[in-house]
Structure 1
Amino acid sequence: MSKPRSLSLAAYRVLSWGMRNSVGQHTNLPRPEGELLWVHVATPGRLRAVNDFCHRMLQVRSDLNFVLTTPPDTDLDSWPQHDFLLVNLPQDQSGAVRGFLDHWRPSMGLWVGGDLMPNILTRADEHNIPLVLFDAQFSVTLARSARWLPDITRATFDCFQHVMTASPETARQIRRLGIPSAKVHESPPLRISPNPRPWPEDELIETNHTLAGRPVWLAAWVQDKEFISVLTAHRQALRMLHRLVLVLHVADELEVGPLKRRLETMDLRCVNWDAGEEIEDTTQVILTSDPENLGLWCRVSTVTFMASSLERGAGGRDPSESIALGSAIIYGPFVHRHDALYSQLRQAGAAKQVKTATELGDALIELLAPDLAAGMALAGWQMITEGAPQADALIEMVQDILDQRSAEHAGT
């Protein structure tokens, strides 16, 4: 049953007709069949955690579809990498938001962050779309002409079945609006919580046996412009650690053959793992380009250098899986796609930044001391897994709401 709406909301909707009507690019995209979870991401810094959450949802509800939205007029090209459909919401104008909801027909909506938009949220509520607010901020985006209207903020927050916020003060502000206390919960913000795919234990044991206790480091997602820096650092470290092995994961598989010939001219003994070549006691470099193999080599390597970061252009790679698998992290200065995460890791003592090949070699020699690498790996693991309980609780909540909605539709 729909909630009674205030005169302020009716007035707001009339005033919003004067806003620019941007229907948005979503009208050109087909709605997938089946259940669809609409997730609104208020700021770029939350997208990685939302992307991770969606992957975790698929593990328990494999047929679920997603549409992720950003605030209107956002430049999507400037947002971090993601694996799900990402579109701008239209302006909070009555006709535009009706078009969005009629096109996508979400089974449920999850709003992550602040800048709540009254029209789309109240319209979704009237369409009986269950809504949950996570990482709530006391922030509602109103048209300038409507800011004098009372009760709009309350009507907007009242659309949500559950409101979660990390801030006790925000929770108090929301309750003061008259939102029932049972709806409002204090909860840490959504964070990444990687869940790496298991690796066959027999292959892991065999690889470790073949390496016979030799120190191993991994350079992952290495661009061609970074080859010489990585190899120079490896040569530098070999002077101190004579049995050191480099696993060089090449970002472009077409570079593996030329790189192998280059290594041979440099008198670095190498094998192509993807071609089935055997690791020998004299092997100094193991070449691979298959991303699937990173699950093995992150487990084997004490230290991982996250490449695509030492030269401008690539913008860095997500280190989450390497950290979750127990590796200490080194990275270069050009990681703008994941800058917030690397900053958090560095502050937690779980990652070290380098700017040159010499600094990379020095960092390798330093971090391959077992106690130091283990301490960094533990700090990273603790930071990156602390979001698991929040993600699990949210997944369970979404599951319950979708199951209830499915049962209601089945009964009609």
Structure 2
Amino acid sequence: MSKSRSLSLAAYRVLSWGMQNAASYRDIPRPDGEVLWLHINSHARHRAIIDFCQRLQHARPTLSIVLTAPPDADLTRWANSGYPLVNLPTEQTGAARAFLDHWRPDVGMWVGGGLMPNVITRAEERGIPLILIEAEADVRTARGGRWLPDITRYTIDCFRTIICPTPESARQIRRLGISSTKVKEAPPLHISPNPRPWPEDELIEVNHALSGRPVWLAAWVQDKEFISVLSAHRQAMRMLPRLALVLHVADITEAGPLHRRLETMDLRCTNWDESGMIEDMTQVILSAAPEDLGLWQRVSPVTFMGTSLERGAAGADPLVATALGSAVIHGPFVHGQQQLYDQLDRAGAARSVRTATELGDAVVELLAPDQAANMALAGWQIVTEGAPQADHLIDLVQDYLDQRGGGDAST
């Protein structure tokens, strides 16, 4: 460490001295063996990072992972992932040291900005390899610390590998004086779903029963959306008389009442979960089993993702449907999956509708083979584009772990 860096950090640590208050992790013991500490600066990146963690643990099953969020993050908004998730302590010297003493990570990875000098520089001093991905030159200092020279550069320079999402972010970090050998460019991590295989004989049987008829799927449909979906289906059948709808209900207890309701609406319906039969004149195939969605998403070139059309909904995950080659339609209320839907919409892999009439029009339009194929291709490119980046990071983490020889980090 250079003298100027030493003086700046010493001054910063004096200014930010303090001990951890009400640590959220003290009741969670450190797992045995290797531990990866992974900090997620933005709630919007949580889902993609969980996907990466699962892929990493497939490659290294004995690795434990602890996730941290910013000190002021409301963890009740973060979905339960099965990994320990705690708030990083506030930017105080003693708090940072206590955090590292407790978890003793073997490798650290930071996603995004909000870099906190105390915990990062302390980790680097302990010899913990640090990786910065989706890098931003955004340092979150304690009060009074911003006037210190080069604190941003000293903090970022603690990372052995820095991966920037854009050429501009890479240039900004290099301009700080960070060695170009550390700085690389790569797109952000994306979720890469891995749908389970489906028995080929059942898939052939269902396709044979449908006899080449046009089919669309409405998945995770809430009771408030039933009328809109059925109205859209009636509208679409005026243009496509042999059209079949696979109606998958979000609440399994609604399947029986909905079947009885359909029988009074002059729509020929079969309850797949009870009979498993599709006849030539069947217009609606009712399904409630979540595990059967893999079948219907393979059969249907177009999927409407329910839980999105009525106010108060939050949207269902569209990526498995996309991975299985289905063009996606969705309503406007998808804030729970907003980033995913925005990405699919921009790429032309999904379409947003607001009403039953718009839904019916979209079904007819997207069932045209060229339209469905173009959307499916756009969706496949999104699903697969993050795989090389994830594979590279998995190799990088494993290399750092192997270099350390496993076990706990030094204290």
Does the TM-score normalized on the shorter chain lie above 0.5? yes
Distance 2:364 2:211 in 1: 20
Distance 2:309 2:79 in 1: 18
1:106-134 CA distances to partner (integer Å, 9 max, x unpaired)? 23211011121011111222333221101
1:16 alignment partner in structure 2: 16
* 1:253–1:35 distance in 2 versus 1, CA, 3 Å: farther
* 1:227–1:116 distance in 2 versus 1, CA, 3 Å: same
Give the fraction of aligned pairs with identical amino acids, expressed as a percent: 66
Distance 1:122 1:316 in 2: 40
1:203 aligns with 2:227: no
* 1:177–1:240 distance in 2 versus 1, CA, 3 Å: closer
* 1:198–1:265 distance in 2 versus 1, CA, 3 Å: same
2:376 alignment partner in structure 1: 377
The question of whether the paired residues in 2 share the 8 Å contact of 1:140 and 1:153 is answered with yes
* 1:273–1:22 distance in 2 versus 1, CA, 3 Å: farther
What amino acid is aligned across from residue 134 of structure 1 in structure 2? I
User: How far off its partner does 1:330 sit?
Assistant: 0.6
The question of whether the paired residues in 2 share the 8 Å contact of 1:67 and 1:84 is answered with yes
What amino acid is aligned across from residue 9 of structure 2 in structure 1? L
* 1:404–1:290 distance in 2 versus 1, CA, 3 Å: farther
2:258 alignment partner in structure 1: 259
2:138 alignment partner in structure 1: 139
What amino acid is aligned across from residue 199 of structure 1 in structure 2? W
1:315 alignment partner in structure 2: 314
1:241-277 CA distances to partner (integer Å, 9 max, x unpaired)? 2221211121111212222222222232323333352
Q: Equivalent residue of 2:311, what SS?
A: coil
The question of whether the paired residues in 1 share the 8 Å contact of 2:33 and 2:406 is answered with no
What amino acid is aligned across from residue 294 of structure 1 in structure 2? L
TM-score by length of 2: 0.91
Distance 1:319 1:183 in 2: 36
**Structure 2 runs not aligned, ≥5 long:** none
Q: Equivalent residue of 2:148, what SS?
A: coil
Q: Equivalent residue of 2:39, what SS?
A: strand
What is the correspondence of 1:1-400 to structure 2 with a 5 Å cutoff?
6-17=6-17, 21-79=20-78, 84-400=83-399
The question of whether the paired residues in 2 share the 8 Å contact of 1:249 and 1:289 is answered with yes
Distance 2:335 2:296 in 1: 25
Distance 1:192 1:35 in 2: 24
- Of residues 359-368 and 170-179 in structure 1, the stretch that sits farther from structure 2 once superposed is 170-179
User: How far off its partner does 1:83 sit?
Assistant: 5.8
User: How far off its partner does 1:98 sit?
Assistant: 2.5
Distance 1:8 1:373 in 2: 59
The question of whether the paired residues in 2 share the 8 Å contact of 1:44 and 1:80 is answered with no
* 1:32–1:239 distance in 2 versus 1, CA, 3 Å: farther
- Of residues 143-152 and 273-282 in structure 1, the stretch that sits farther from structure 2 once superposed is 273-282
* 1:173–1:234 distance in 2 versus 1, CA, 3 Å: closer
**Structure 1 runs not aligned, ≥5 long:** none
The question of whether the paired residues in 1 share the 8 Å contact of 2:221 and 2:248 is answered with yes
1:39-82 CA distances to partner (integer Å, 9 max, x unpaired)? 21112332232122122223323343332222111123445785
User: How far off its partner does 1:402 sit?
Assistant: 2.5
* 1:236–1:317 distance in 2 versus 1, CA, 3 Å: same
1:6-29 CA distances to partner (integer Å, 9 max, x unpaired)? 1211221121125x8444422233
Count of residues paired in the alignment: 408
- Of residues 118-127 and 27-36 in structure 1, the stretch that sits farther from structure 2 once superposed is 27-36
What amino acid is aligned across from residue 304 of structure 2 in structure 1? F
Q: Equivalent residue of 1:381, what SS?
A: helix
- Of residues 122-131 and 346-355 in structure 1, the stretch that sits farther from structure 2 once superposed is 122-131
* 1:283–1:190 distance in 2 versus 1, CA, 3 Å: same
What amino acid is aligned across from residue 181 of structure 2 in structure 1? A
The question of whether the paired residues in 2 share the 8 Å contact of 1:315 and 1:337 is answered with yes
The question of whether the paired residues in 1 share the 8 Å contact of 2:133 and 2:164 is answered with yes
* 1:302–1:21 distance in 2 versus 1, CA, 3 Å: same
User: How far off its partner does 1:336 sit?
Assistant: 0.7
What amino acid is aligned across from residue 163 of structure 2 in structure 1? M
User: How far off its partner does 1:326 sit?
Assistant: 0.7
The question of whether the paired residues in 1 share the 8 Å contact of 2:34 and 2:408 is answered with no
CA RMSD of aligned residues (A): 2.4
The question of whether the paired residues in 2 share the 8 Å contact of 1:47 and 1:82 is answered with no
1:348-399 CA distances to partner (integer Å, 9 max, x unpaired)? 2221111111211111111111111111121222233222211121122122
The question of whether the paired residues in 1 share the 8 Å contact of 2:16 and 2:143 is answered with no
